Structure 1
Amino acid sequence: MKKTAITLGVIALCSSLSSQADTLLGLYAGAQGWNMETTGGFSDDGDNRDFNFDTQTNTNIYVALEHPIPLIPNIKLQRADMNTEGDVNFDSNFEFNDQLFSANSDAYTQVDLTATDIILYYEFFDNDLISFDFGINAKYLEGEFIVTEKDEPNRTETLDFSVPIPMLYSRLALGIPFTGFGAYVEGSYLSLDDNTLSDYQAVITYSLIENLAIDVTFQVGYRAVTLELDYSDNNNDIYSDLEFKGPFAGLEVHF
C-alpha cells in the first residue's frame, strides 16, 4: 500500500514539474504563407497615385520566448516580406526621384518591403481559456519603391528607405475547452502627426499535436497592414498610403 502511494506521489510530482516547466519557460516558433493584396501608392512629394498591384504570396516567420522573471518582458521577433509589383497609366505628370513620368505614359511599379518586429510584452492573463498580452513593438521597415517606364526600361527610379516605428502591441487569445480549437486577435498601432500605421490579424487555431514534449498548432486567419507615411530618411522624403491585406495559413510549434 505504501509503495503504491509513493508511486502515485512520484507520478503526480513529475506531472506537476512538467506542467510547471512549461509555465516557467516557453519557446514558440511559427511560419505563415500570406496571400497578400496591395492597394494605394507612394511618392516622394506627397502626390501619391493609386497603382495597380498584383496579388502576391509572401512569408511571415516569428519566434517568441516567454519566462516567469518579474518585471522583465517576454520577447517576440517577427519578420514579414511584403513584396509586390504592378503597373499604372499616369493620368497626369508624375515626378518621382527627380524623374518626370509624363501624362498617359505606362510604368511598372514595385514595392520591395521587409518588416521586422521586436516586440516586448507582459502577460496579464495566461490560461487555457483566456490570455492577454500588452507591450510595445519596435517595428523596422526597410525596402525600395521603384518606378520603371515601360517604353524606356532604362528609365528606372529607385527610392531606398528604412523607417523605425515605435508601436503599441496587444494580443487576446481564447480557447474552447475539449475541442482543440482556439482564436486570437493580435495587433500593433501608431498614430503620430501625419503617420498612421497599423498591423492587425485575426486567427483561428487548431491543435494538431499536444503532449509534454511539443505542441503543434495549425493557423488560418486574415491580416491587414496599413502604412500611411510622411517621413524623411537620409535626405529622402517618403510618402505612402499603402494597405496590404489578405488571408494566411501557417503552423506554430511550441517547445
Structure 2
Amino acid sequence: MRGRYGIGRLLEVLRRTGSPAGGATAASRPSELLLRVLCHELRTPVTTLTSLTRALADEARPLTVEDRRLVSALARDQAAHLQTLLTEAATSVGALTLAVGRSEPTVPLAEILPIVAMLVPAERRHIRVTWEAARCRVSAHRTRQMVGNLVENALRHGPAAGRVGIHAMCRGAHLSISVLDEGRVAEPLIEALRRPAPAVGMSGLGLWIVRQLVAVDGGQVRLHRLRPTGVAVEVLLPARQAG
C-alpha cells in the first residue's frame, strides 16, 4: 500500500535528519509534514483522474482498445491510491511508521511504465525502454509513484506544449529510469535535489518525496542538462533481473 511505504517513510526520515536549517519550526514537526505530504500526494491522483475522464470524453481522439485498458488500469490504481492516502491520514502518526521496514511486491518495469505514460498526452509522449530494462523487477507501488511524480513535475514545470520522455536502460549493475522535458535546469530544481529536508510550503516537495522513495530501494537521483536544450531527472536503482 503506497501510503504505508511513502508517508510513513517520510516521517521516519524527518525524525532521523532533524529540522530544516534555521531551527525547529511548525513545518518541521511530523504532523505538519504529514499534512503537507498528503496535500502533495493527493494532487497527483486528482489531476490524473481529471485527465483520464477528459480523454474518455474526447470524441475527437477516440481511444484504442489498448488505450482504454491502460486508462482503466491507471484510474483503478489512482483511486486505490486515494483511498490509501485517506486511510493513512486518518490513523495516528505513530501507526504510520510501523510499516516503514516492510517489503512490497516487485513487478517487471514493463508493467509500470505504460500505465504511468498515460499521464502524458499522446502527441507529447516519447517512450524509450530497452528489453533488458523492461525485464528488471522493481518495487511496484514505490516505483509507480516515483515515476508518476517525476512525470507530473515535468508536465508542470516544462514548456506547455513540450515533449516529455520516459527512458529506461541498464547501466552496469543499475537500472536507469529518466524523465525528460524541454525545460531548463533552474536553481529551484537544483536546490530541491540537494535539500536534506523539505522546505516550507509545496515547492520542491515532490522531488524530495521522490528522493525518499528511491532511497528505500538503495538508489539515487541525478540531474542532467540536455543539449541543445532540456533537462532530465535520472533515477538509478539496483538492477534486479526477472527470474
TM-score by length of 1: 0.23
Larger RCO (alpha carbons 8 Å, 6+ apart): 2
**Between structures 1 and 2, the one with greater strand share:** 1
**Between structures 1 and 2, the one with greater helix share:** 2
Greater Rg, structure 1 or structure 2?
A: 1
